[in-house]
A and B are shown apart, each in its own frame.
Chain A
């Protein structure tokens, strides 16, 4: 569905993306992870036909983004980072306008259906200027969905939403991603883990890693870190856990919890739990700590610096 080959974009002397190559299949949700200025938005703008690349090619649904830009744009739904809305229009009028631009017959009905899909049908006649951030984000998604595109490109779709809205937005995206190709960018690793089939990590305009979220994490870390909490005093527990085979790097935290690590692939949490219970402690919590995006980045950039580029 999406094929990107050697894509490069220069803004004057600054190279925003360098020699980017990846693809995305139909029915696949691909996450684009990276810090601000990594080149995510630039890549998305090229794929949506907004701007041409300096070098390289990209095809969406079989059409070249430069040569057959109009065909690409017909097949792509795009939610830019700053949600583009006409605040002086009502929700229904805005979507009808977008539907008319895409030559959809019965545009008013389609606009209403799309509003229902993003749970805004009760505000169909409300002015967008009066909408909250979350509602505007959903309006943005609605305009990207209005023509039922084969490919959906979403730039930071959950940014600025409250937790309930984030959950809702993610479930909508998962639903859409069942039969369409979705490319979304995000800062948040758990989000990528929850929604995406595959993650591309992009830094300084280049892809530094590409894999499923789970593989990426275990491959990068090589070990799993766990936090453990017991009721009351945890004196002596640290030593007890340290004795278990496979446990590394046990650390008693100032808040009374204990952290330890084990090699990825050999889960020793049951043994630890037994040891805690046999020691007469009340086990309250044992939870793996995921690596944050920042840590993964540090990991990746360290790899790059030492020449062992992981990809």
Chain B
């Protein structure tokens, strides 16, 4: 556990000197800010017509989750591939550190960075809460945030796993992006065309339904939580196996 934390801390610190991390943080926060401003404007315009409809955070968290599809590959691409390229992987693999601890530490560092960005967006529910009487639905908000956190954790784990397969970070970026696009969008098309159990399996694998149709509308179900935790475990497993395989090459 201590080793995981040591690796995570270095990775977290590294994001604050990395231009890509700043670009990602800027892109996410700017987009979320614009959406928030538009939302506020929209609700104020319709305040008298929209009977009983109070503004909530789900459009912001929904946008955040969507932005993760594009930004997580940029954050995870170099995590392990760059260590391999620079030769520092040899350092880590000869340190008294389990391969899993290395992969989990990398994942945790990136996860904490995303959580930091997410924490900045907490100003919006606070603002919204002060604007709306009697306040926003806090349970819905917490469910939405939990959803974003789980999507981020799952994407990051897959990203770290894919990064461990490559020595070139650009290759890692595109493979990670393709995997996310597949999980987030493409998998939905065959799921809607096919019938029977094949369709059910594909539907279960479709990540956006676990988020948009469940957590982001305040519906916390065990099946969705299991889905995300399984993806995290899968990503970390791929990463650990890939690092182990490097030893045999």
Which A residues have a C-beta under 8 Å from some C-beta of B? 11, 45, 48-52, 70-71, 73-74, 76, 78, 80, 82-88, 97-98, 100-103, 143
Contacting residues, chain A, for B49 (C-beta < 8 A):
none
A102 near B248 (CB under 8 angstroms)? no
State A73–B102 Cα separation when bound (angstroms).
15
Residue ID in chain A nearest B247 by CB atoms: A51
A70 near B247 (CB under 8 angstroms)? no
| Chain B window 87-126, contacts with chain A (Cβ cutoff 8 Å), 1 for yes, 0 for no | 1111111111110000000000000000000000000000
Assess A49 versus B94: contact at CB under 8 Å? Given A84-B88, A85-B88, A88-B14: yes
Segment at the interface with A among B2-10, B38-46, B145-153, B159-167: B2-10
B86 within 8 A of A: yes
Secondary structure at the B interface, as helix, strand, loop or mixed, is helix
B96 near A80 (CB under 8 angstroms)? no
Assess A84 versus B87: contact at CB under 8 Å? Given A50-B247, A51-B248, A103-B2: yes
Residue ID in chain A nearest B101 by CB atoms: A101
Which B residues have a C-beta under 8 Å from some C-beta of A? 2-3, 6-7, 10, 14, 17, 86-98, 247-249
Assess A48 versus B96: contact at CB under 8 Å? Given A84-B86, A86-B88, A97-B6: no
Residue ID in chain A nearest B86 by CB atoms: A84
Assess A101 versus B87: contact at CB under 8 Å? Given A52-B247, A88-B14: no
Residue ID in chain B nearest A44 by CB atoms: B94
CB distance from A155 to the nearest CB of B (A): 10
Contacting residues, chain B, for A101 (C-beta < 8 A):
3, 6-7, 92, 95-97
Contacting residues, chain B, for A143 (C-beta < 8 A):
91
B95 near A73 (CB under 8 angstroms)? yes
* 25 interchain pairs, CB-CB under 8 A: A45-B94, A48-B94, A50-B90, A50-B247, A51-B247, A51-B248, A52-B248, A73-B97, A74-B96, A76-B94, A78-B94, A80-B90, A80-B91, A84-B89, A84-B90, A86-B88, A87-B86, A88-B14, A98-B91, A100-B6, A101-B7, A101-B95, A101-B97, A103-B2, A143-B91
A82 near B87 (CB under 8 angstroms)? yes
Residue ID in chain B nearest A147 by CB atoms: B96
State A126–B86 Cα separation when bound (angstroms).
20
State A101–B88 Cα separation when bound (angstroms).
14
| Number of A-B residue pairs with CB-CB distance less than 8 Å in the complex they form | 60
CB distance from A11 to the nearest CB of B (A): 8
Contacting residues, chain B, for A88 (C-beta < 8 A):
14, 17
Q: Which residue, of B2, B87, B249, has the highest number of chain A Cβ atoms within 10 A?
A: B87
Contacting residues, chain B, for A45 (C-beta < 8 A):
90, 94
Assess A70 versus B96: contact at CB under 8 Å? Given A51-B247, A97-B10: yes
CB distance from A310 to the nearest CB of B (A): 33
Contacting residues, chain A, for B249 (C-beta < 8 A):
11
Residue ID in chain B nearest A155 by CB atoms: B90
State A103–B10 Cα separation when bound (angstroms).
15
Contacting residues, chain A, for B17 (C-beta < 8 A):
88
Contacting residues, chain B, for A82 (C-beta < 8 A):
87, 90
State A70–B10 Cα separation when bound (angstroms).
21
Contacting residues, chain A, for B247 (C-beta < 8 A):
50-52
Contacting residues, chain B, for A49 (C-beta < 8 A):
93-94
Could you list 8 further interchain pairs (A-B, Cβ under 8 angstroms) beyond the known A86-B88, A88-B14?
Answer: A51-B247, A52-B248, A70-B96, A70-B98, A73-B96, A100-B6, A101-B6, A101-B92
State A86–B88 Cα separation when bound (angstroms).
7
Residue ID in chain A nearest B17 by CB atoms: A88
Contacting residues, chain B, for A70 (C-beta < 8 A):
96, 98
Contacting residues, chain B, for A76 (C-beta < 8 A):
94
State A70–B98 Cα separation when bound (angstroms).
8
Contacting residues, chain B, for A98 (C-beta < 8 A):
91, 95
CB distance from A259 to the nearest CB of B (A): 44
Residue ID in chain B nearest A69 by CB atoms: B96
State A48–B3 Cα separation when bound (angstroms).
19
Contacting residues, chain B, for A73 (C-beta < 8 A):
94-97
Residue ID in chain B nearest A73 by CB atoms: B96
CB distance from A66 to the nearest CB of B (A): 10
A102 near B96 (CB under 8 angstroms)? yes
Contacting residues, chain A, for B96 (C-beta < 8 A):
70-71, 73-74, 101-102
A102 near B90 (CB under 8 angstroms)? no
State A44–B89 Cα separation when bound (angstroms).
15
